Amino acid sequence: MHFESPVREPLVLGKDTNYHTITEDICIETERRPSKYWFMSFGLALAVLTLLASCITYTIMTGIGVWNLNKTIGWAYDITNFVWWIGIGHAGTLISAILLLFRQQWRTSINRSAEAMTIFAVFCAGLFPVIHMGRVWNGYMNLPLPNDFGPLWPNFNSALLWDVFAISTYLSVSVVFWYTGLIPDLATMRDRSKSESRKKVLTFFSFGWTGSVRHWNRFELVCLILAGIATPLVLSVHTIVSFDFATSVLPGWHTTIFPPYFVAGAIFSGFAMVHTLLIIARKVMHLEKYITIGHLETMSKVLILTGGLVSLAYGTEFFMAWYSGYGYEQFVFMNRLFGPYWFGQWSMIAFNSCLPQLFWFRKIRRNPTITFIMAAFINVGMWFERFVIIVMGIHRDFLPSSWAMYSPTWVEICIFIGTFGLFFTCFLLFCKYLPVIAIAEVKSIFKITRGGKPVGALVGADEQDYNGDLGFELAAKAKASHDNHIEMMDIGKTGPSH
Amino acid sequence: MIKIKKTDCIVAVFDDDTTLLGALTKAREKGFSILDCFTPFPVHGIEKVLGIKRSNLAVAAFAFGSFGFLLALTMMTYTLTFDWPEDIGGKPTWPLTSMVPILFELTVLCTAFGMTITFFWTCKLMPGVIPVIYDKRSTDDHFVVLFAKDKREAEVRETMQQNGVKEMKDDQYITHNFPGPLPIKLR
């Protein structure tokens, strides 16, 4: 029997919440007409998406000469954006897979939207290497297909090809994981729907799910195994992205620390993005009962942890450069601190290492406005981290005569801004047409997080109660109500066991 | 030959999972024939009460994973070692270590897809399947148990009444004998 301390914050708030109100609160947004704010934001997102489409068309029609790449700096803005977006696409699978294996129940109300965010971020990321090829129509040559230019196969020794496999696998497995989890909730929406056409569409997409116990039993096993394989997968993706750099022999790139460093950075930026989006989503969609201040606080804690890991990696890189006694490596790192791109290095230190330290304060962790601003800055800092690694790793190489500087052209900037259009178009559609919170999963933890109480006899847990310091008074109240409840009920039947 | 089977049944509707578990335990003790049970979320402990065995999907997952691994290994070995071997600085033409990332990715890819498709197949789910719903609320906040309507009908009803059933009604339990999903209207 699973038991949770009554002093612990409940994961679902609200005195009158029960299974039906959970369904109601989450489905209602998908059933009513979109608000004018939704239309306005969607319109804006579509406009930015159009910008992306036109700039990509312009790039492909003209060639990547419209970018500011040069002979020294062959990878710059686009690869920075690629790594940045891929990093953002890490939190979703981390939340749904790793936290599932660790039985972290707070994941249930954020995993759906975080996974959706992952998928859309990977769309954005995938764009960059494709357009960077220049001749996009030759993209299929990445695949080991029989072809008509002799038996020419892709080079399986290349980290770039590993990346193709890693990212496409990650995208497909994330979609499978996300969609499998969506099916029961689509069935819930189907059985609520009033119009025939809506019902037909939802019947099709919910695959005929009925909620039979046998199906649930297999469903849970499928989710567990998917989580089990998605965990090494999510770690492998950014590891392989780091191989793109680490398998080269350039000072500053040729580092064994890169795989864990990149993975920690990815989780860091992914959580920052989840933070940013959910703080808005919970307000706009009135989901404060499900995505509580407690959830935001927990995510802030993850941010301190991963921010700490990233800072450790920064420190280790500098230490190893000094300790190696290798002049070129030392030069790269001095150039990072005091070279022409000093602002990149210093903003990454400021935003990724120093800023998250504020999360040690409980008041800050529980303040949505401050955490929102901090998470946005972390995202900026993480963008600079990739810029520092990529551009600063190559702009001053072994031969001073080939040193160069790089700044993006308007086309590159517009493509980057445009990816936000793609991201938000997808995200807004998701928010409007699909349940943003995993309804069935929240229901399955609902009683447990409230001390196993039956619906209707719950701790008086409003957000206000938990917003300030968790006083002794409240703890005592919770405990009293819990003891009372245990007397009232047969313990063996207080709730679902875990 | 696909056959559609209809069994008369009693649909017992509960509004709480704790009550449901209690009632099911009683029903199992008395040996009633439970046809199926529908819940809006996975109720933990119910598989023990109903005696549902752990699924063998893990075996399918392993098999598909091995297939993916072998597929990648065969393909890379064929292209790099046999079909077009290249001498790159005297490095081996069967570079097992640099195959690791792709071996891993293909294993994961095939496991995920293979297992999920097997899951849908064995649960008889696919786009186009029209489900038989005994109570619409069973995907919202109610819990539905189907009992076979046999000689012990009265006893079933009485036991359920004593164990907090919300309502009971008569219906037909409809199944088909095809091993996979069928996109046909059963009712």
The tens digit of pLDDT for each residue in A452-485 reads 554 444 444 444 444 433 334 444 455 555 554 4
Interchain proximity B102–A190, CB inside 8 Å = no
B185 reaches A (C-beta below 8 A): no
Asked if B126 lies within 8 A of A444 by C-beta distance, the reply is no
Test B106 with A496 for CB contact under 8 angstroms.
no
Q: Give the minimum alpha-carbon distance from A431 to chain B in angstroms, rounded to a whole number.
A: 20
Q: Which of A153, A173, A215 sits opposite B109 (nearest CB)?
A: A173
Which residues have a Cβ under 8 Å from the Cβ of A268 and sit 6 or more positions away? Answer: A87, A303, A306, A307, A309, A310, A352, A378, A382
Task: Residue window 12-51, chain B: list those with CB within 8 Å of chain A.
Answer: 16-18, 21-22, 36-47, 50
Q: Which residue of A has its CA nearest to B107?
A: A229
CA of A242 to nearest chain B CA: how many angstroms apart? Answer: 12
Query: Has residue A380 got a pLDDT over 60?
Result: yes
The sheet with strand B167-176 has its strands ordered as B34-38, B143-148, B4-14, B167-176
To the nearest whole Å, the CA of A281 is away from the closest chain B CA by 23
Q: Indicate if the pLDDT at residue A319 is higher than 60.
A: yes
pLDDT score of B57 = 92
Prediction ipTM score: 0.94
* Residue A494: pLDDT band with limits 50, 70, 90: very low
Inter-residue contact B81 to A157 (CB < 8 Å):
no
CB B144 within 8 Å of CB A254: no
Give A496's contacts in chain B (Cβ within 8 Å).
Answer: 17, 43-45
> What's the mean pLDDT in A322-351?
93
- Under an 8 A CB cutoff, do B141 and A212 touch? no
Q: What is the pLDDT of residue B83?
A: 87
- Report CB contact under 8 Å: A232, B104: yes
Q: Identify the DSSP state of A145.
A: -
Which chain A residue has its CA at the smallest distance from B115's CA?
Answer: A222
Residues 6+ apart with CB under 8 A from A441: A108, A111, A181, B41
Whether B138 contacts chain A with CB within 8 A? yes
Look at B131 and A205 and tell me if their CB atoms are within 8 Å: no
CB-CB neighbours of A464 under 10 Å: 8
Q: Which pair of tokens denotes residue A92? A: 């979703």
Higher pLDDT, A486 or A255: A255
pLDDT of residue A480: 53
The domain spans of chain A are: 1-11+437-498
DSSP A351: I
Q: For the domain B4-52+131-176, what is the CATH code?
A: 3.30.70.1150
What is the structure's pLDDT at A469?
A: 39
- Predicted confidence band of residue A373 (pLDDT cuts 50, 70, 90): very high
Query: How many angstroms away from the CA of B152 is the closest CA of chain A?
Result: 23
Mean pLDDT, residues A340-359 taken together: 94
Per-residue pLDDT, A496: 42
| Element counts in chain B: helices (H) and strands (E) | 5, 4
d(CA A471, CA A465): 9
CB contact under 8 A, A222 and B116: yes
Neighbouring C-beta atoms of residue B92, cutoff 10 Å: 13
Q: Do A236 and B109 touch (CB under 8 A)?
A: no
Token code pair at residue A394: 């190559």
Cβ–Cβ contact B7 with A under 8 A? no
Cite the DSSP H helix spans in A325-367: 327-338, 342-348, 362-365
Contact B101 A180 (CB under 8 A): no
Size of interface A-B (CB pairs under 8 A): 206
As a whole number, the mean pLDDT across chain A is 86
DSSP string, A424-446: HHHHHHHHHHS-SS-HHHHHHHH
Specify the pTM.
Answer: 0.89
Of A180, A454, A498, the CB nearest to B116: A180
Q: Please tell me the least confidently modeled range out of A7-21, A107-121, B15-29, B78-92.
A: A7-21
Greater pLDDT, A460 or A59: A59
When pLDDT is cut at 50, 70 and 90, the band that residue A107 belongs to is confident
* B-chain residues near A220 (CB < 8 A): 42
Query: Is A184 in the B-facing interface, judged by CB distances under 8 Å?
Result: yes
Sign, Cα dihedral of B115, B120, B121, B123? positive
Substitution target from B139, B145, B178 for chain A, most A beta carbons within 10 A: B139
Q: Indicate if the pLDDT at residue A495 is higher than 80.
A: no
Task: Check CB contact under 8 Å for B101 and A233.
Answer: no
Helices assigned H by DSSP within A63-195: 77-88, 91-93, 99-101, 111-132, 159-192
Average pLDDT in the A66-78 region?
91
pLDDT higher than 80, residue A195: yes
- Say if residues B95 and B41 touch (Cβ distance below 8 Å): no
The low-confidence residues of chain B, meaning pLDDT below 50, are: none
| Residue B151 sits at the chain A interface (C-beta within 8 Å) | no
* Residue A160 distance to chain B (closest CA, Å): 11
Tens of pLDDT, residue by residue over B98-135, are 999 999 999 999 999 999 999 999 999 999 899 999 99
Say which of A156, A188, A243 has its CB closest to residue B139: A188
3-class state of residue B36 by DSSP = strand
Give yes or no for A432 touching B (CB within 8 A): no
Instruction: Give dist(CA B183, CA A65) in Å, integer.
Output: 53
Give how far A189 is from chain B: nearest CA, Å: 8
Closest chain B residue to A224 measured between Cα atoms?
B58
Summarize the confidence of residues A32-40 as an average pLDDT: 91
Q: Tokens 């954020």 map to which residue?
A: A110
Q: Would the CB atoms of B106 and A169 count as touching at under 8 Å? A: yes
More confident residue, A300 or A455: A300
> Hunting for tokens 């979609």 — which residue is that?
A175
Which amino acid would we find at residue A495?
A: G
Distance from CA of A28 to the nearest CA of B (A): 13
Domain ranges of chain B: 4-52+131-176, 57-122
Which residues does chain B have within 8 Å of residue A152's beta carbon, measured at their own beta carbons? 84
Q: Rounded CA gap, A33 and A340, in Å? A: 52
Q: CA A330, CA A252: separation in Å to the nearest integer?
A: 9
Q: For position A269, what pLDDT does the model report? A: 93
Q: What is the pLDDT of residue A150?
A: 64
User: What is the per-residue pLDDT for A6?
Assistant: 57
**Mean pLDDT across the stretch A266-274?**
92
The reported pLDDT for the residue numbered B93 is: 87
